[in-house]
Amino acid sequence: MKPKWLVTLATWILEHLTYGTHKEALVGDLLEELRRGRSTRWYWRQVLSAIGVELSRRPRDYTLTLIFSAAWSTLYPFWWHLIGRNHLPQTLPQRWAALDWPYSGTLALLCGVTPAVTFIWLGLFVYLMSRLGVARELTGSQVLRSLSVSLNVLLVANVAVLKFFANAAIDIRFVPREEFYATFHLNSISVSLVLSLFFAIACALPPVRGRRFDSFAR
């Protein structure tokens, strides 16, 4: 008996991390082989291999995206000073903290995450504007999906950062809000911001391949 959820999960990952012309056929072939007796382990190996092949095929595209994401993340301190000082008065979090739970926690979280999220979304739009030729073909749902991916990646990365600091010498409670994203960094590049922006761009602008439907007529 093959655990169905493992197959569903692998298929979902494959469909969301590959962009090739033959993505549908690839997934179909793997499912066909699975139904004909291949193991779930074989299926997962094939899925991971396909993702690896996909990522290695477009190194230039991803390198450019990664460089832009890293460079953009270094601007975050300026953004914090711009938005944090002007639009998020320092007394506001203290006022929210006085509210009952869960409002206090939720609002404090929103206050901490909002500057980072808006910064990433701004970065995404700057990148899209710089590649207007490709970005013009984007649909509203693709942009929404991309924004959603950036948010999810940021939240997961934040949880990872908090977990990392749980065993570190730094007490996260005493890290100022404006320095949170700069604390877990490599030469002033915030890892969580870079990951979030990178995945948002990669999700919005998959490689240009994949637009042919039928070339038999050639």
Partner 1 sequence: MGEHNYLSEFELMILLIVINLGDDAYGVPLTRQLAIERGRDVSVGSVYATLDRLEEKGLIASRLGEATAERGGRAKRYFRVTEQGLRTVQQTRTVLNKLWKSLPSAGEELA
- Specify the residue, 43 or 198, whose C-beta has the smaller distance to partner 1: 43
Q: How many Å apart are CA 178 and CA 116, to the nearest integer?
A: 10
The C-alpha atoms of residue 181 and residue 190 are separated, in whole angstroms, by 6
Dig out the tokens for 18 from the structure. 């590959």
For the CB of residue 104, give the shortest distance to partner 1 in the complex, in Å.
Answer: 46
Nearest approach in angstroms of CB 162 to partner 1 is 35
CB of 68 to partner 1, least distance (A): 25
Q: How far is the CB of 172 from partner 1 (least distance, A)?
A: 40
Which of 47/161 has CB closer to partner 1?
47
Least Cβ distance, residue 211 to partner 1 (angstroms): 12
Residue 165, class by beta-carbon neighbours within 10 Å (0-12 exposed, 13-18 middle, 19+ buried)?
middle
CB within 8 Å of 88: residues ≥ 6 apart: 111, 114, 115
Contact residues: partner 1, CB under 8 A: 11, 18, 20-22, 24-33, 35, 46, 49-54, 57, 209, 212-218
Nearest residue (CB) to partner 1, 43 versus 68: 43
Full DSSP string of 166-184: HSSSS-GGGS-GGGHHHHS
Q: What Å distances lie between residue 36 and 30, 31, 40, CA to CA?
A: 10, 9, 12
In the bound state with partner 1, the residue whose beta carbon lies nearer, of 25 and 159, is 25
When the beta carbons of 24 and 179 are compared against partner 1, the nearer one is 24
